[in-house]
Amino acid sequence: MALTGVTRPGHIQLRVLDIEAAVRFYRDVLGLTETGRDASGRVYLKAWDERDHHSVILRQTDRAGMDFFGFKVLNEVTLNQLESDLKAYGVATERLPAGELLETGERVRFQIPTGHQIELFATKKMVGNGLAPVNPKAWSPASDRGIAPVRLDHALLYGPDVGGVLKLFTEVLGFTLTEYVTLPDSDEKGALWLSCSNKAHDIAFVVHPEPAKLHHVSFLLDSWDKVLRAADIMSVNDIRVDIGPTRHGITRGGTIYAWDPSGNRFETFMGGTAPYPDWPAIHWTWEGLGEGGGLDVAHRKLHETFLTVVT
């Protein structure tokens, strides 16, 4: 499909407790490539098949979690238009100067009803994936280091007022609701999966009393075999696993959830549906999330840690 407006997830800035331990994990175990460090001590990394300079930024602080999640938009004209649309909708925006993030142009940042900081940007230096631009090989040495995800895929964020988020993302930013879960004995949507493409989701939200919480950041793998390989790598490196390997009913993706050294949950994800914008959203009940296999097809149950542990 033709992508206009918001095109894809572009980056996430994670708070970590020990920057060098985090770098060792994201570089050597997860298999990202370090692409730079800035004067404030932040470390930039990318997945091997991403073309942009970075998709993950690590910042050391005294508590884990997420500072912001950014989306790349089609061009500067789109960035300006979306900023104008946000202001007209009543959302306050902030312009961050080019260069505040390494190799990244101006960004428009705003707070959404769940309390998270979201930003849009149009330009970031393209460094490529290590393969030739003409007649490229099918494989890169970087694609075999660690778990070696293909790209940053999505994030799941927890906070209040997901109904307000749904309106903002669909009415202003052009996202499509692909799947949702209603709360027990209610028609209220308590969990949302939203796409700006025809991926199963580019971002997701679950209602939670505390604002601005990170549930997980997800990285895409090529196949179920790669997910099982990721499980072996996690075991060898004593990585704490939350759920998996298993499959979701929601999105139909294969998955493992685990925690980085700071306690931020990450996902290794493969597959998933490919919905189009005219497809009706799939409705899951709370019972369907658990006993119906929405979360875990293999075990058909809810996992307490999955529902309660956020950063």
Active-site residue set: 154, 201, 216, 248, 257, 267
For residue 6, give the amino acid letter: V
Angle of CA points 162, 166, 172, to nearest 5°: 135
Distances (CA, A) of 58 to 20, 112, 281: 10, 22, 34
Radius of gyration, alpha carbons of the chain:
18
Dihedrals phi, psi of 10, to nearest 5 degrees: -110, -40
Structure tokens at 5: 């407006």
CB neighbours of residue 149 within 10 Å: 28
SS3 of residue 152 by DSSP:
strand
CB 93 within 8 A of CB 86: yes
CB 267 within 8 A of CB 246: no
Is the peptide bond between 245 and the residue preceding it cis, with omega within 30 degrees of 0?
Answer: yes
Query: Using CA atoms, how far apart are residues 271 and 218, in angstroms rounded to an integer?
Result: 12
For 194-208, what is the HEC assignment? EECCCCCCCEEEEEC
Residue that is written with structure tokens 């895929």 in the block: 153
Angle of CA points 124, 127, 129, to nearest 5°: 125
